[in-house]
Amino acid sequence: MKLLKAVAMVESGMDQRKVNRRGEGYSVGVMQVHSSWFPVLKKEGFDVERLKRDACYNVLVGAWILRKHIDEAGGVIWKGVGRYNAKSRLKQLRYVRKVMLALKSGSLRKRG
């Protein structure tokens, strides 16, 4: 649970209204779920429209995506965390560091 909160803090500052448009596609909600996931999520039975408006559902979907990345990383949690955010190894390492800092700082409360 703390790991999910740390990811959410790094991704959006716990802000469900956050939409990030960078390059192709966009990311939405607390867990900043990227639109490239929408076809997969629909196929798996997730409601993409609800993902955009419901913070709890957004976290549920983000947790499902994070689990997929951890599984693809052979169960190595921190590798999966890095893959949640980036494809390049360097960006993954930077992201993991941010999440670790969020965990260690104890600043897992909503910003603002």
Query: For 29-69, how does the pLDDT look when each residue is reduced to its tens digit (9 = 90+)?
Result: 999 999 999 999 999 999 999 999 999 999 999 999 999 99
pLDDT in the model for residue 112:
45
pTM: 0.90
Partners of 28 in beta bridges:
19, 33
Closest CA to 92 of 81, 77, 76: 81
Q: What does DSSP say about strands 33-34 and 19-21: parallel, antiparallel, or unpaired? A: unpaired
| In contact, 64 and 71? CB cutoff 8 Å | no
pLDDT in the model for residue 107:
59
Residue 112 in any domain: the answer is no
CA distance 55 to 58: 5
Give the other-Cβ count within 10 Å of 77's Cβ: 13
* CATH number of the domain that residue 63 is part of: 1.10.530.10
Provide the residue range defining the domain that includes 9. Answer: 2-105
The confidence band for 6, taking pLDDT boundaries of 50, 70 and 90, is very high
> What pLDDT digit, counting tens, does each position of 61-101 carry?
999 999 999 999 999 999 999 999 999 999 999 999 999 99
pLDDT in the model for residue 109:
57
Number of domains into which the chain is organized: 1
Residue 46 in any domain: the answer is yes
